[in-house]
Amino acid sequence: MLPLVEYGKEFCQKLTQIKLSRIVIMVFIILILTPLFTHFYLSNIERSSNHITHNAHSHIDLPEDLNAMKEPDLRIGVEELIRIKGSVLSELRDMERKRQKLLLEIQSYTKNIEELKQELVHQQTNLNRLKISVEQAEVAQREALQQNTPDLALPKRLTADEIPPILPSLPPSQIKFCRMFSCFDHSRCSLTSGFPVYLYDPDQFPVMNDGWDVDGFLKTTLKQTLGYNPHLTNNPKEACVFVVLVGEALKDVDDVSENVGNHLNLPPLDSNALKQLPYWGGDGRNHVLLNLARRDLTAVSGDVFSSVDTGKAILVQSTFSSQVFRPGFDLIVSPVLGPPGGDVWQECPQMLPARRKYLLTFQGEVKSNNNRTPNPSHGDDADLDREHAELDKFVIEHLKDLAKTNTADKFLFEFECVPASDDNVNIGPQDWALCGTDSSRRTVLRDSTFVLIFAPTFPDLVTTTLLQARIYEALRCGAIPVILGGDQIQLAYDEVIQWRRVAIFLPRARITELHFLLRAIPDEDVLLMRRQGRLVWERYLASVQSTLDTIVAVLRDRLNIPPIPIDTVAAISVFNETFQPIQVTVPVETEQEESLGPLEPPYNSPAFRRNYSLGLTQGHEMWNDWGDPFRLYPALPTDPLLPSDAKFMGSGRGFRPIGQGQGGAGKEFSEALGGNSPREQFTVLLLTYEREQVLLDSIARLRGLPYLNSVVIVWNSPRPPSAELRWPDIGAPVHVVKAARNSLNNRFLPLDNLQTEAILSVDDDAHLRHDEILFGFRVWREHRERIVGFPGRYHAWDINTQNSWLYNSNYSCELSMVLTGAAFLHRHYLHLYWKWLPQAIRDKVDEYMNCEDIAMNFLVSHITRLPPVKVTSRWTFRCPGCPQSLSEDDTHFQERHKCINFFSQVFGYTPLLNTQYRADSILFKTRIPHDKQKCFKFI
E strands, 852-922, in order: 869-871, 918-919
Among the listed residues 533, 430, 411, 420, the one whose alpha carbon sits nearest the alpha carbon of residue 473: 533
Strand partners, 289: 244, 315
Q: How far is CA 793 from the centre of its chain?
A: 19
DSSP 283: T
Contact 195, 556 (CB under 8 A): yes
Gap between the Cα atoms of 620 and 557, Å rounded:
11
Residue 387, φ and ψ in degrees, nearest 5: -65, -45
Q: At what angle do helices 523-536 and 614-624 cross, to 10 degrees?
A: 110
Contact 507, 530 (CB under 8 A): no
Q: How far is CA 795 from the centre of its chain?
A: 21
Contact 395, 508 (CB under 8 A): yes
Residues with active-site annotation:
853
3-state secondary structure of 289: strand
Gap between the Cα atoms of 394 and 511, Å rounded:
9
Burial of 51 by CB count in 10 Å (0-12 exposed, 13-18 middle, 19+ buried)?
exposed
Contacts of 19 (CB under 8 A, 6+ apart): none
Q: Is the dihedral of CA 860, 861, 865, 869 positive or negative?
A: positive
Gap between the Cα atoms of 535 and 863, Å rounded:
11
Gap between the Cα atoms of 751 and 768, Å rounded:
24
Count how many residues are written for the chain.
939
Whether residue 353 is preceded by a cis peptide bond, meaning omega within 30 degrees of 0, is: yes
DSSP 60: I
Q: Is the dihedral of CA 582, 584, 588, 593 positive or negative?
A: positive
Burial of 389 by CB count in 10 Å (0-12 exposed, 13-18 middle, 19+ buried)?
middle
Strand partners, 250: 213
Gap between the Cα atoms of 718 and 738, Å rounded:
9
3-state secondary structure of 35: helix
Contact 366, 432 (CB under 8 A): yes
Strands 241-247 and 197-199: parallel
Burial of 55 by CB count in 10 Å (0-12 exposed, 13-18 middle, 19+ buried)?
exposed
Contact 686, 762 (CB under 8 A): yes
**CA 456 to each of CA 481, 487, 513, 540: distance values in angstroms, whole numbers, following the listed order:** 15, 11, 20, 23
Gap between the Cα atoms of 827 and 830, Å rounded:
5
Q: Is the dihedral of CA 99, 103, 109, 112 positive or negative?
A: negative
Q: Is the dihedral of CA 65, 66, 67, 73 positive or negative?
A: positive
Cα pseudo-dihedral 338, 340, 345, 351, rounded to 10? 30
Strand partners, 937: none
Gap between the Cα atoms of 421 and 39, Å rounded:
121
Contacts of 134 (CB under 8 A, 6+ apart): 1, 4, 5, 8
Gap between the Cα atoms of 538 and 549, Å rounded:
12
The amino acid at residue 25 is: I
